C-alpha cells in the first residue's frame, strides 16, 4: 500500500513502556506546519476522559502544531490529577517541538481508571519528537502506535484536484469495540493539506463523522475517550476552500471516514461478519438512523448472522421496537439480495441458499424498506460470536 | 412446593403436537368462574403478534371465562390469516367450555412467521377442556405447558387476609430471552380470587408490571408477543377491593410479579449470574430507570460479570452514556457490598476478593448512587456467556 502524505505533516510512533510488549509502539506524535487548522468531534459520554476535556476546549483552532497520542492507558475517570497529566503531556510535547502548549492536542486510549506513568510518557515524547518524519514508514509507525487490540493499523486516503491544486486526505483510526480488559475507545486523525478555516473544518468534520463514525458499533458501549480530529495544514493552496470545492473536499473526507469506520466495525472483537444495515423510505433521517441502530444493537440479530442464519423474525421484531412509527403493511426486508419479507408478510425462500451466501461473504447486507418518505441511513456493526464473549469475560483485570 | 389455588379457577396443560417432543405440553387452558375480571399489559413492539391484537381489544374486561395458550408457535408476523387463526382459537375454546368467544383471551409463544397448525390446535383445545382441574398438578401442567426454552416452570404466590377474607394470588410465567431458533416472548398469568373492577385490575397490573416485568432484560430484544394477564374471579369476597385493601393487594401482586420477573432474568439463556442493578439518588424515577437499563444492556458489563471481573470502568462508562445528566463528583458504585468508586473517583480495593465473591454468588449486586434527588429504580438482567452466543448462533432455522 502506497501512502500519499499530505504536505506540512510529520509523524512518529515509539515504544515508551505503556504496553508490556517492547515491540509495540504506544506513543505517537503528529506535527503540522504553523497556523494549521484543527477541528474535533468527541464522545458524548458524561464520564469523558481528561484528554477529551482538554481537546474540546482547544478546538476548533487555527493555530495547532501537534497531536500527541498514547495507547495502553485511557486517562479516564482519573479526576483532577488526570486532567493535569493531560496538560503536562501537551506541555512536554510543546517543549520538544518548540511550540506553545496551547497548540498541542492530546488523545489517550487504554485502561480506564489508572494514572498515566508520567516519566515514561515524558521519555516517550522526547523520543517521538526526535524521530519525526514524513515518509510512509513514519506514517505507518504512527498508525500502528495508536492501536490497542486492533488486528493492525487502519488507514484510508483520497487525493483530489481542486481549483488546479492536488489535495491529499490521509486518515488513521483505531478501535475494535470498547475493548478488552478495561480497554476502550475509537480514535481517528485525518490529516490534509487543504486550506480550511476553523469553521469549515469543524462543520466538515461534524458532517463526515455523523455519516461514518457515528454510524458504527461493535457492542453499542460508548467509550469515554472517542475522539476524531481533522488537521489541515493548508500547504497545498493559498486561500481557504469555499463553496463547490469545499463540498467536493467534504465528500472526499466523508469517503475516508466511512472507509475507516467500516474497518472498525469489521475488526470488532471476535467478529466473523461485517453487518451493513441500510434503511430507506423513512419520514426522516433520524427515524432511519434509529431503526438501523436498533437492529445493529440486537444481540439476537448479531448472533443469528454469526451463525449464518437467515432469521428474518429477529430483524423484523427489532424494527418493531425502535420507537419509530410505520405502516406494517409496507415493511420489506432484503438480506444479501434475497427478499425475505415483503408488504409486511413472509416470503417463501430457500433458507439453505441464503445461509450459504451468509457463510461465504464477510459482509452481510441487511436492507430494510419502508413507505413513510424518502429518508435513508446506513449503519455498520459486527456480529456477536463466542470469541467476543470469551475475549471480554475470560481476561481478568 | 405447595400451591394455594385461588377459588374459581381450573387449569390444564396437554400435548397437541406443536413441540416435537411428545412428552412436552404445548397447549394450556385456564378457566375462571363467570363474570371474572381480566386486565392485560402487552408488548410495545409495533410488530405485535395476532393474539396480542385480540387480547388488547378485549381487556380490561369484566366478563372473561378463559385464557388459551399455545407454545411452540408465536403466531407473529402472520398477517390477516394469523389474526383469524387467533380468533378461531378463542372460538374453539368458547365452544369447548360453553362460553362466548368474546370471553376468551389468547396467548402464543414460539416460532415467528409460521401459521398455526389449526387442526392440532383444535384437538389440543378439546383435550385440554376435557381434563380441567383445580389441583396442584393441574396448575403445574399449565405452568409447564406455557414454557419454551425455560429450564422449568416459573411460579410465585402470596396469600393475604383483607377485611377478614383470605385472598390468594398465584402466578405463572415463561421466558428466557427472546429465545432460541426464532423463539420469543415472555408470558404471564396471575390468577386471584380477589374481587376487582376492570379499572382497579388494569391499574394494579400496570403498576406491578412497571416495577417487575418492565425492569428485566436478557438481551434487551423486545418480543412481538409479550403479554401479562391478571384474572380475578372474585370468589373470595363479595365487594370489590378499595383503598387500603386495594393497596395491600397491589403490593402482594407486585411481590408475585417481581418474583416471577427475577426468575426470567435468572433463567436467561446461558446465564451464570443474575445481575441486580439498584440505582438511587436520581432526580426522577425515569432517570434512575434509564441508567439502570443502560448498564443492564451493556454487553461489556454482562461479559465482565460472567467472568467474575470487578471491572468498574465498564459500569461507570455505561452510566455516562445513559443520556441522563448528573454530577460526576457524586457518583458512587458498590459491587457485592464492596465500594469500588466514590465521589467520582476510583477507590482502592482487593480485586481478588471482589472477584471471588462474584464467582461464589449467583446474584451480582450493582449499586449506583447519585446526589441529584431521591428517586430510585431496580433492574434485573442476566450475564452474557459463551453459552448464550452458542445457543443463539449455532442452532439453525
Residue A396: closest CA among chain B residues belongs to which residue? B309
Chain A nearest C-alpha distance from B333 (Å)? 13
Rounded to whole angstroms, how far apart are CA atoms A304 and A315?
A: 10
ipTM, interface predicted TM-score of the complex: 0.84
pTM metric for this prediction = 0.87
Each residue's pLDDT expressed in tens, for chain A with a length of 397 residues? 689 999 999 999 999 999 999 999 999 999 999 999 999 999 888 989 999 999 999 999 999 999 999 999 999 999 899 999 999 999 999 999 999 999 999 999 988 889 999 999 999 999 999 999 999 999 999 999 999 888 899 999 999 999 899 999 999 999 876 533 334 578 999 999 999 999 999 999 999 999 998 888 776 677 888 899 999 999 999 999 999 999 999 999 999 999 999 998 898 888 999 999 999 999 999 999 999 999 998 888 999 999 999 989 889 999 998 999 999 999 999 999 999 999 988 899 999 999 999 999 999 999 999 999 999 999 999 999 998 888 878 755 4
Chain A nearest C-alpha distance from B328 (Å)? 7
Packing angle of the helix pair A299-306, A312-320 (nearest 10 deg): 160
Q: Enumerate the domain spans of chain B.
A: 9-266, 274-394
Q: Inspect the interface and report whether the beta carbons of B46 and A328 lie closer than 8 Å.
A: yes
Chain B residues with beta carbon closer than 8 angstroms to that of A221: 298-300, 314, 317-318, 321
SS3 content of chain B, % helix, strand, coil (to 5): 35, 30, 35
Among candidates A110, A113, A146, which has minimal Cα distance to A128?
A: A146
Cβ(B145)–Cβ(B26) under 8 Å? yes
Alpha helix (H) residue ranges in B98-241: 118-130, 136-145, 198-210
Nearest to A307 among B76, B318, B396 (CB): B396
Fold match between domain B9-266 and domain B274-394? no
pLDDT at A284: 97
pLDDT at B183: 42
Angle at B204 between CA B198 and CA B207, to 5 degrees: 135
Using DSSP, state whether B214 is helix, strand or coil.
helix
Rounded to whole angstroms, how far apart are CA atoms A145 and A151?
A: 12
Handedness of CA A288, A293, A299, A304 (dihedral sign): positive
Nearest to B219 among A112, A299, A393 (CB): A299
pLDDT bin (cut points 50, 70, 90) of residue B220 is low
What does the pLDDT average to over B177-204?
80
Best residue of B115, B298, B331, B393 to probe chain A, by most A CBs closer than 10 Å: B393
Give domain A274-394's CATH number out of 3.40.50.620, 2.30.30.110, 3.40.710.10, 3.10.20.340. Answer: 3.10.20.340
What does the pLDDT average to over B131-145?
97
Chain A residues with beta carbon closer than 8 angstroms to that of B220: 297-299
Q: Inspect the interface and report whether the beta carbons of A184 and B313 lie closer than 8 Å.
A: yes
Chain B residues with beta carbon closer than 8 angstroms to that of A388: 299, 303, 389
pLDDT at B181: 32
Best residue of A382, A392, A394 to probe chain B, by most B CBs closer than 10 Å: A392
Chain A residues with beta carbon closer than 8 angstroms to that of B182: 311, 313-314
Q: Inspect the interface and report whether the beta carbons of B317 and A79 lie closer than 8 Å.
A: no
A·B CB contacts under 8 A: 206
* pLDDT tens profile B62-91: 999 999 999 999 999 998 999 999 999 999
Is the pLDDT at B196 greater than 60, yes or no?
Answer: yes
Nearest to A317 among B112, B321, B346 (CB): B112
Chain A residues with beta carbon closer than 8 angstroms to that of B47: 316-317, 319-320, 328
Residue A295: closest CA among chain B residues belongs to which residue? B221
Nearest to A304 among B45, B220, B393 (CB): B393
Q: What are the residue numbers of the active site of B?
A: 185
Chain B residues with beta carbon closer than 8 angstroms to that of A300: 177-178, 219, 221, 392
Nearest to B311 among A223, A307, A397 (CB): A397
Any residues with CB less than 8 A from the CB of A130 and at least 6 apart, and which?
Answer: none
> Cα B226 vs. chain centroid, distance in angstroms?
8
Mean pLDDT of chain B: 93
Q: Residue length, chain B?
A: 397
Q: Inspect the interface and report whether the beta carbons of B394 and A319 lie closer than 8 Å.
A: no
Using DSSP, state whether B114 is helix, strand or coil.
coil
Among candidates A34, A36, A13, A10, which has minimal Cα distance to A24?
A: A13
* pLDDT tens profile B340-367: 999 988 899 999 999 999 999 999 999 9
φ/ψ (deg, to 5) at A138? -60, -45
Give domain A9-266's CATH number out of 1.10.357.10, 3.40.640.10, 3.60.70.12, 2.60.40.420. Answer: 3.60.70.12
The H-or-E segment that residue B2 falls in is none
pLDDT at A180: 33
Q: Inspect the interface and report whether the beta carbons of B309 and A396 lie closer than 8 Å.
A: yes
Among candidates A183, A128, A176, which has minimal Cα distance to A152?
A: A176
Chain A nearest C-alpha distance from B258 (Å)? 23
Q: Cell numbers at residue A364, please? A: 452481510
Chain B residues with beta carbon closer than 8 angstroms to that of A393: 303-304, 306-307, 309, 384-386
Q: Cell numbers at residue B299, please? A: 454487553
pLDDT at A178: 56
Rounded to whole angstroms, how far apart are CA atoms B254 and B396?
A: 38
pLDDT at B389: 87
- Which of A59, A185, A381, A385 does the annotation list as catalytic? A185
Q: Cell numbers at residue B121, please? A: 390446535
Tell me if residue A166 is catalytic: no
φ/ψ (deg, to 5) at A47? -90, 35
pLDDT bin (cut points 50, 70, 90) of residue B153 is very high
Q: Inspect the interface and report whether the beta carbons of B46 and A309 lie closer than 8 Å.
A: no
Amino acid at each position: 500500500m502506497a501512502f500519499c502524505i499530505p504536505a506540512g505533516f510529520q509523524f512518529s510512533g515509539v515504544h515508551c513502556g505503556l504496553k508490556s510488549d517492547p515491540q509495540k509502539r504506544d506513543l505517537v506524535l503528529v506535527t503540522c506546519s504553523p497556523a494549521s487548522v484543527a477541528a474535533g468531534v468527541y464522545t458524548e459520554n458524561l464520564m469523558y476522559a481528561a484528554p477529551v476535556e482538554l481537546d474540546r476546549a482547544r478546538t476548533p483552532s487555527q493555530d495547532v502544531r501537534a497531536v500527541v497520542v498514547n495507547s495502553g492507558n485511557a486517562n479516564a475517570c482519573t479526576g483532577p490529577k488526570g486532567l493535569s497529566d493531560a496538560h503536562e503531556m501537551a506541555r512536554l510535547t510543546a517543549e520538544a517541538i518548540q511550540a506553545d502548549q496551547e497548540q498541542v492536542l492530546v488523545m489517550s486510549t487504554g485502561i480506564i481508571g489508572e494514572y498515566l506513568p508520567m516519566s515514561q510518557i515524558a521519555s516517550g515524547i522526547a523520543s517521538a519528537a526526535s524521530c519525526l518524519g514524513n515518509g510512509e514508514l513514519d506514517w505507518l509507525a504512527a498508525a500502528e502506535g495508536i492501536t490497542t487490540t486492533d488486528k493492525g493499523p487502519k488507514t484510508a486516503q483520497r487525493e483530489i484536484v481542486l481549483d488546479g491544486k492536488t489535495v491529499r486526505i490521509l486518515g488513521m483510526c483505531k478501535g475494535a469495540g470498547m475493548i478488552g480488559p478495561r480497554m476502550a475507545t475509537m480514535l481517528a486523525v485525518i490529516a490534509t493539506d487543504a486550506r480550511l478555516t476553523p469553521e469549515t473544518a469543524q462543520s466538515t468534520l461534524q458532517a463526515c463523522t455523523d455519516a461514518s463514525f457515528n454510524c458504527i458499533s461493535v457492542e453499542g458501549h460508548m467509550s469515554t475517550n472517542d475522539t476524531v480530529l481533522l488537521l489541515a495544514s493548508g500547504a497545498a493552496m493559498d486561500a481557504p476552500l469555499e463553496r463547490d470545492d469545499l463540498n467536493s473536499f467534504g465528500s472526499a473526507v466523508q469517503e475516508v471516514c466511512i472507509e475507516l469506520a467500516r474497518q472498525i466495525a469489521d475488526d470488532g472483537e471476535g467478529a466473523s461478519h461485517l453487518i451493513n444495515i441500510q434503511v430507506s423510505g423513512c419520514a426522516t433521517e433520524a427515524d432511519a438512523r434509529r431503526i438501523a441502530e436498533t437492529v445493529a444493537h440486537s444481540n439476537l440479530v448479531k448472533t443469528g448472522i454469526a451463525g449464518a442464519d437467515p432469521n428474518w423474525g429477529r430483524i423484523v421484531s427489532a424494527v418493531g421496537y425502535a420507537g419509530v412509527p410505520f405502516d406494517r403493511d409496507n415493511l420489506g426486508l432484503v438480506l444479501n439480495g434475497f427478499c425475505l419479507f415483503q408488504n409486511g408478510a413472509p416470503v417463501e425462500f430457500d433458507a439453505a441458499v441464503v445461509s450459504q451466501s451468509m457463510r461465504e461473504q464477510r459482509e452481510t447486507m441487511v436492507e430494510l424498506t419502508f413507505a413513510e418518505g424518502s429518508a435513508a441511513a446506513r449503519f455498520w456493526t459486527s456480529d456477536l460470536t463466542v470469541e467476543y464473549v470469551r475475549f471480554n469475560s475470560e481476561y481478568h483485570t
